């Protein structure tokens, strides 16, 4: 069954209960916008949780056989090293902590693995709300809009593979720790300039810790520390702090890549850029535009959406360069980190074909990038006409999240089990950066 072919009776009932028939009238009334935004976000959150429960299975799937069961058996014999061993290109230390608890103490039923996906996504939404709300007027209306938008971005069902597969906590973890690192650095520098040295040092330590934990979530997490260094330089931190971040980056990369190997079929960075330069560019655009896949749009439109997101990042960087003082540098750093991750993924996965750029598990990053850019541009754009365009983009993205989040639940449980049996099997592997 096509993911968007029909809506299930349960979801039709949910929409009927949540959305009144005079929705157009509410939209025309600007005073209702905060309520609509929060309502849409709440519905997306509720239907995604419903989807996770509906698709639950205690049976390991795909990489869980080796990545969870195989890891656990190794950990019983060697209690330390298996937590840091490679799985494809990744060192899944953080996720393996969850796997170990599940296998050791909870019977390996997959419940904590799936619950972790939801909890980590909720924490991302909370951190996003914290970053944005700190720089907005403290009014109920603004908080409702921010809360609804954060829920819509983090719980959109188009990333259903990351919600319904217990092996995918790494995706939410790497973005959560990266966002926390960028978020901690910004107020740390503010506290340092105010003379609050204790608070500043504590937040700076959290930023370094976030960069380390991001690297221990999956391979793209090693990019957090370099982006953190660039953010620190932009915030005009001290030379000592820049040196500390540089040393931390070097230590992370040295520890991570000692004994590391790649299973990329493209032959690495040089071969990918020499032999497939246009393919890498197209892959990046499709990756960043992957949320548009869930609107039943063709590849050209998906690439166009990806180009729009990339141009928005360039425009945001131009604003930052021109003003030297902007609001919410953590949002811009997050967008830059995700764009760099898209390039790394393109280099490593171009050999599998450009169509892999739109896989469901890849949409988590582009969703967060789009949300971070929308928030950053809204906070820093001073021209009213451009703000109206940003508002229009926000409404479009939010409505698309609602539509896709509800429509994707139309997959029946039987169809999902059939897909798992034919594609995954007991030891099928799904690999990806």
Predicted pLDDT at 180: 96
Between strands 90-91 and 86-87, the pairing is antiparallel
Q: Tens digits of per-residue pLDDT, 4-22?
A: 444 455 554 554 454 444 5
Model pLDDT, residue 79: 84
The model's pTM is 0.85
What are the beta bridge partners of residue 87? 90
Q: How crowded is residue 273: how many other Cβ atoms within 10 Å of its Cβ?
A: 16
Task: Spell out the alpha helix ranges (H) of 155-290.
Answer: 160-164, 169-194, 197-215, 224-234, 239-257, 269-275, 277-288
What is the phi/psi pair of residue 179, to 5°? -65, -40
Asked whether 209 and 402 are in contact (CB, 8 A), the reply is no
What is the per-residue pLDDT across 104-148, written as a single tens digit (0 to 9) for each? Answer: 998 889 999 999 999 999 999 999 999 998 877 667 888 888 899
- Characterise 348 by phi-psi region: left (phi > 0), alpha (psi -120 to 50), beta (else): alpha
Lookup: tokens for 133: 């709300």
Distances (CA, A) of 307 to 67, 90, 127, 269: 35, 28, 27, 22
Return the pLDDT at 178. 97
Measure the CA–CA gap between 85 and 82, rounded to whole angstroms.
5
Phi, psi of 86 (to 5 degrees): -75, 140
Token readout for 189 is 């520098």
Distance, in Å, from the CA atom of 78 to the CA atom of 100, rounded to the nearest integer, reads 13
For residue 383, the model assigns a pLDDT of 74
- What is the pLDDT at residue 125? 96
Residue pair 229/245 in contact by the 8 Å Cβ criterion = yes
Residue 229 has a pLDDT of 96
Given this model, what pLDDT does residue 340 score? 95
**In the block, residue with structure tokens 């003379």:** 195
Round to whole Å and give the CA distance between 29 and 71. Answer: 55
Q: Which of 420, 406, 415, 409 is nearest to 152 (CA)?
A: 406
DSSP string, 144-186: HHHHHHHHHHHS-GGGHHHHH-TT-HHHHHHHHHHHHHHHHHH
> What is the reported pLDDT for 169?
93
Whole-angstrom distance, CA of residue 284 vs CA of residue 264: 16
Find where tokens 């598990």 sit.
Answer: 361
Which stretches of the chain drop beneath a pLDDT of 50?
Answer: 1-7, 12, 15-16, 18-21, 398, 401-432
**Sole residue written with tokens 């239907």:** 47
Instruction: Give the pLDDT confidence score for residue 195 in this predicted structure.
Output: 83
Instruction: Return the pLDDT at 68.
Output: 87
Residues in Cβ contact with 232 at an 8 Å cutoff, skipping those fewer than 6 apart: 185, 189, 241, 242, 245
- The pLDDT of residue 32: 75
CB 366 within 8 Å of CB 338: yes
Q: Token match 């032959």: residue?
A: 267
DSSP three-state, residue 394: helix
């Amino acid at each position: 069954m096509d993911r968007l072919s029909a809506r299930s009776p349960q979801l039709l009932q949910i929409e009927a209960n949540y959305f009144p028939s005079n929705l157009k009238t509410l939209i025309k009334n600007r005073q209702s916008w905060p309520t609509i935004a929060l309502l849409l976000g709440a519905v997306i959150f509720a239907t995604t949780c419903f989807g996770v429960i509906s698709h639950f299975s205690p049976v390991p799937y795909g990489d869980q056989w080796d990545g969870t069961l195989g890891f656990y058996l190794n950990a019983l014999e060697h209690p330390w090293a298996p937590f840091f061993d490679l799985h494809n290109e990744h060192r899944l230390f953080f996720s393996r902590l969850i796997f170990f608890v599940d296998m050791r103490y909870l019977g390996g039923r997959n419940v904590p693995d799936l619950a972790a996906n939801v909890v980590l996504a909720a924490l991302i939404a909370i951190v996003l709300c914290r970053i944005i709300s700190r720089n907005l007027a403290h009014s109920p209306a603004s908080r409702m809009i921010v809360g609804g938008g954060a829920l819509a971005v983090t719980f959109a069902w188009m990333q259903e593979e990351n919600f319904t597969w217990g092996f995918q906590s790494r995706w939410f973890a790497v973005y959560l720790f990266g966002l926390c690192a960028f978020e901690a650095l910004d107020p740390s520098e503010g506290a340092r300039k105010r003379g609050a040295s204790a608070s500043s040092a504590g937040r700076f330590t959290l930023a370094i810790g976030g960069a380390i934990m991001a690297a221990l979530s999956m391979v793209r997490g090693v990019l957090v520390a370099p982006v953190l260094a660039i953010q620190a330089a932009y915030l005009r931190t001290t030379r000592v702090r820049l040196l500390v971040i540089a040393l931390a980056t070097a230590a992370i990369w040295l520890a991570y890549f000692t004994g590391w190997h790649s299973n990329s079929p493209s032959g690495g960075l040089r071969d990918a850029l020499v032999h497939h330069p246009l393919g890498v560019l197209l892959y990046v655009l499709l990756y960043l535009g992957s949320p548009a896949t869930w609107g039943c749009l063709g590849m050209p439109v998906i690439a166009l959406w990806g180009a729009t997101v990339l141009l928005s990042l360039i425009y945001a960087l131009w604003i930052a360069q021109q003003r030297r003082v902007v609001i919410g540098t953590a949002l811009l750093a997050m967008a830059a980190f995700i764009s760099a991750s898209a390039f790394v993924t393109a280099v490593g996965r171009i050999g599998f074909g450009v169509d892999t750029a739109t896989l469901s598990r890849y949409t988590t990053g582009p969703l967060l990038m789009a949300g971070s850019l929308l928030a950053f541009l809204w906070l820093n754009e001073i021209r009213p006409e451009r703000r109206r365009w940003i508002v229009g983009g926000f409404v479009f993205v939010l409505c698309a999240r609602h539509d896709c989040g509800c429509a994707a639940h139309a997959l029946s449980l039987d169809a999902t089990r059939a897909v798992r049996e034919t594609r995954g099997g007991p030891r099928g592997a799904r690999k990806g950066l």
